[in-house]
Structures are given as structure tokens and as C-alpha cells.
Amino acid sequence: VKSEGPKLVPFFKATCVYFVLWLPTSSPSWFSALIKCLPIFCLWVFLLAHGINFLVSHRSASRILAGLIFSAVGDAFLIWQEQGYFIHGLLMFAITHILYSSAFGMKPLDLKAGLLMGLVSGSCYAFLYSYLSGPFTYLVAVYIALIGFMGWRAVAGMQLCNDLWTWTKLSACIGAMLFMVSDLTIALNKFCFPVPYSRFIIMATYYAAQMLIALSAVETRDEEDFRKRS
């Protein structure tokens, strides 16, 4: 906390700016896109503050940074979703989930966690299916599969049964779950029915998810520091 907390101060300030200004979504502009993306920009800076050499030598950290970059582009597209850019945003976040999944890795496999996430993802899609039409019938299915896979890899890394989990793996796990809550709220609000306080729920869980996933990237650095102290 002492080492990573100060680096996150700009992120918390930018998040507060977003919620204080609370710009209307009915009048999208480049300024509103900047305010929405600013917390994610701060997470770029958070990772870059650990050094370029660290990012280059640790693929998981560099992939999370790449995921944050695609997330910011997706956020910008979603500002203009009513003008036909929702699918563009969906594509950007789909790439984000692929990058995050790659960063979390395939070890340990944990098929039980995969089955659980498959059941959760399948249930969500089964509920949404009757509300979907046209290309969204297929696009949402692919997107749910990708975010469900990302959630599986984050949960699998916890290894609670083996007592091998670390705070950064816990951070990735909670972050992935919050990301799924955020995106499910978007889907329900857009395709099914108005969700009370949907924008607050979506953005609060989204920013928290991105922060926690960004925090998970520092695990390899912590392990190196521990080995040096030993």
C-alpha cells in the first residue's frame, strides 16, 4: 500500500472529477470523452511509473497496459454510442478482455472455475437472448464468451484451495468480477429494461475493476523485490 498507493492518487482524483462533473450523456463531446477516459489515462501513468524496462521484460504487465489503451478507445466510442458507435466500443473492449486473459495466463488451468464461469456466462446470455436482435444476437454471445473466459483466468489464478494466492491475484479476481458486473449492467440497461442508477453502477464498478486489474500487474515486481531482500 505504501509503495503503490501514492502512484494511484491521480487516478482517484480523476475519478472524482468524473463523478463531480457528471457530464450529460445526451450531449457527447470530446471534452466529455476526455473526462471519462482520464482515470484510465492515469492508470497508464501508474503502470509506466514502474519503468519501461519492467513493462518490456514482463509480458503480463505490458498486456494489461495494452488492455487499458484499448479500454480508453472503447470508452471514447461509447460516448457516441447513440450515433452508431456502440459496436466499435464493444470491439475495443473485446480486445481488452483478450489481452487481460493473456496477461492472467493459462496456469493453473482450474477446470472447475472454468465450468462455473461458463455456467454464469451461459445463464447471462440465456437471459439476454430474447431481448437481442440482428447482429447483437451473435456479437453479445462472443463478447460474453470473452469476458467469461477472462473472468475464469482471473479466478483460476487465486488458488485458494492450495493457499497460494497473493494480494495481486486477489486484485485481478475482484477486478474481473467487477468488470463483469459493469458490463452486465450495460447489457441489461441497453437491451432489456432501465436499471435504476445504471450509470453510477456501471462507472463505479468499471473504474474499480480497471484499477484492481492494473494493480495486479505489479505482482512480478513485488516477487523480484522479495527475492532481492531475501
Q: Across the chain, what does the average pLDDT equal?
A: 92
Query: Would you list the domain boundaries of the chain?
Result: 2-226
In sign, the C-alpha dihedral spanning 96, 9, 16, 23 is negative
Give the tens place of pLDDT for each residue, 168-203. Answer: 899 999 999 999 999 999 999 999 999 999 999 999
Residue 19 in this model has a pLDDT that exceeds 80:
yes
- DSSP code of residue 24: -
> For 124-167, what is each residue's pLDDT tens digit?
999 999 999 999 999 999 999 999 999 999 999 887 666 567 88
Q: What is the distance in angstroms between the CA of the first residue and the CA of the last residue of the chain?
A: 20
CB count within 10 Å of CB 149 equals 19
Tell me if 8 sits within 8 A of 222, measured CB to CB.
no
- pLDDT single digits (tens) 37-55: 999 999 999 999 998 999 9
The CA radius of gyration of the chain, in Å to the nearest whole number, is: 18
